[in-house]
Amino acid sequence: MVIAGAALAFIQAARGQGGSGLSPHVASGVAPLAGVAASFADFPGPAVGAAASFADFAGPPVGPATPGALVVGAAAASDLRANAIPAGVSVSSLGAVPSTCRGSSSQAQAPAPSASAAIRRTPGLTAMRHDSNRSRASAMASPAMPPVPTLVEIIAAKRDGAPGNPADVARLVAALMSGELADYQMAAWLMAVFFRGLSDPETVAMTEAMLRSGRVLDLSRVRGLKVDKHSTGGVGDKVSVTLAPLVAACGVPVPMVCGRGLGHTGGTVDKLEAIPGFRAQLDAAEFAAIVERVGCCMIGQTAEIAPADKRIYALRDVTATVESIPLIVASILSKKLAEGIDALVLDVKVGRGAFMKEVSAARTLAKALVRVGSRAGKKVVALLTDMEAPLGVAVGNAIETAEALDVLAGGGPPDLVACTLALGAEMLVLGGKAGGVGAARALLAQAIASGRAARVAEQMIEAQGGDPRVVADRRRLAVAEEELVIEAARDGYVDRVDALAIGLAAVAMGAGRSRADQPVDHGVGIYVEKKPGDAVRASEPLARLRVRSGAAALPIAERVREAFAIADTAPPLRPLVLDRIDDRSSTAAPGSG
């Protein structure tokens, strides 16, 4: 009864007085809120009032959201290495809560109350006065000090849009990890953040609280500025495999914690584990030792790194709150900053194969990442790079690793080489090894031509238990033997290669996973032989599939065929790098409640 009542109360509240229906943003969040509301019934005291507390969302003080608060259409999603927005979701920065989320005009102008005022006003939370935190705080507080809000009051304050307090955010994260705050209470706060947003100081506080929940790696013995790179994920994105040893060969240490593939985007750990014997799960001491000795090390996330993020993301995943920009920012940065780095270069992918489909949305995320990372004391630069079509030719695991190693040998597809050099140049500048990107590119090219980058890759692979011979002999990477060829139906020009369709086809083949607990087949994959703008003749190969069973893969081959569009004229080509964001081009966002 409480579940149904809470969901109904929220629906009525979201419509507002005189509202005509739910906005898409709110409608997608109603189902998870029903479960959250049910959990409120576990509190002692009048349980019926718990559902009623959500109904007060319709009354005062609902008003305009603070400018800069980000509201995104919710959809159940999986994180790609920690945070991928699924295909079809767009992000918009809204100046106010949608009209279907507001009450009457008189209510909309009401000032945001304090947390304590919110508690007094909310019938369902009046019963929470038994909270022991409140009793202890009231007993200890001097008359001149404001009372310390309870955890429930902090949740209510965010729900009602009251000005946020960074200390309260840090306190919630600590309380979750200590057991003082229940999962259902954190879920309620996450939903409030989804609609109300976080200010930059609050996001910094959440980032630091999550990274401090585990071990912050000590790389003080490693000389020089430590720089990492993070990609928001795409199809055929194997840049990290090339980039870490290449940048390390130029004298900048690269400690890199990588993710596994989830959904249509591949994962660096899966690509590295295609190398025979390679170990991606190392403890912190071994990780630091390899960075010090070799100059780079690439591992998967461990239980020691930002455990609060892992727990909070699990709640976001089942409460449709993944697509909140402040929560994405905190999740990404908490893991990256826990590596002990001094600077970070971000590759924010844009297009069909990325979770950000539009440049404006990707720019919003990039600016937030740069702002918050800078406020956390790190040097951060973000590049927006194109992901309408797959990056490079190979899409899979072993075949992507081979292509990444081709770049270190002086080869590789032009777009992959260009993306690697653009990101690597930014890393060398942040690491103090070059005064500008032009000089940095020259250093990277020299490291490839001299063979230094390939030697560092061999040393890293050997240090992590892998077969270093794969660097020089990529045939040692096991690839499925059967091949299906997709041919062009007519002459013309490739107008489109749908990166999302190619990525999903690779998942269907077994190269990726739709659940975090699924294994991957390192040997299968897709070679995208023709890219947008390429001329093609009838019967010429568009793609080649490496599969375990040709007959079983025929339906997948048809999906790959449909990913290509051929036109009579060549399309205009999109630039690879769409924008660059640094701490000067990232303007401060107004705080949100």
Which residues are catalytic, by number? 230, 309, 316, 331, 335
The answer to whether the CB of 268 falls within 8 A of the CB of 275 is no
State the Cα angle at 499 between 503 and 525, rounded to 5°: 40
**Integer CA distances (angstroms), 487 to 189, 277, 498, in order:** 52, 36, 16
Q: How many C-beta neighbours within 10 Å does residue 450 have?
A: 11
The string of DSSP codes covering 145-186 is SPPPPPHHHHHHHHHHTPPP-HHHHHHHHHHHHHTSS-HHHH
- Backbone CA torsion sign across 135, 140, 145, 148: negative
Residue 544, beta-bridge partner list? 485, 527
154, 158, 572 from 35: Cα distances, Å: 20, 19, 48
To 5 degrees, how large is the angle CA 121–CA 124–CA 129? 80
Cα(298)–Cα(317) distance, integer angstroms: 26
- Which residues face 350 on adjacent strands? 386
3-state helix, strand, coil in the chain (%, to 5): 45, 15, 40
Residue from 179, 174, 138, 131 nearest 153 by CA: 131
Question: 490 vs 130, 188, 535, CA distance in Å?
Answer: 75, 55, 11
- Measured CA angle at 87 (ends 235, 337), to 5 deg: 65
Distance CA 282, CA 279 (A): 7
Q: What CA–CA distance (Å, rounded) separates 73 from 166? A: 26
Give the separation between CA 429 and CA 40, rounded to whole angstroms. 51
Q: Measured on CA atoms in the order 53, 57, 59, 65, is the torsion positive or negative?
A: positive
- Quick one: how far is CA 389 from the chain centroid? 20
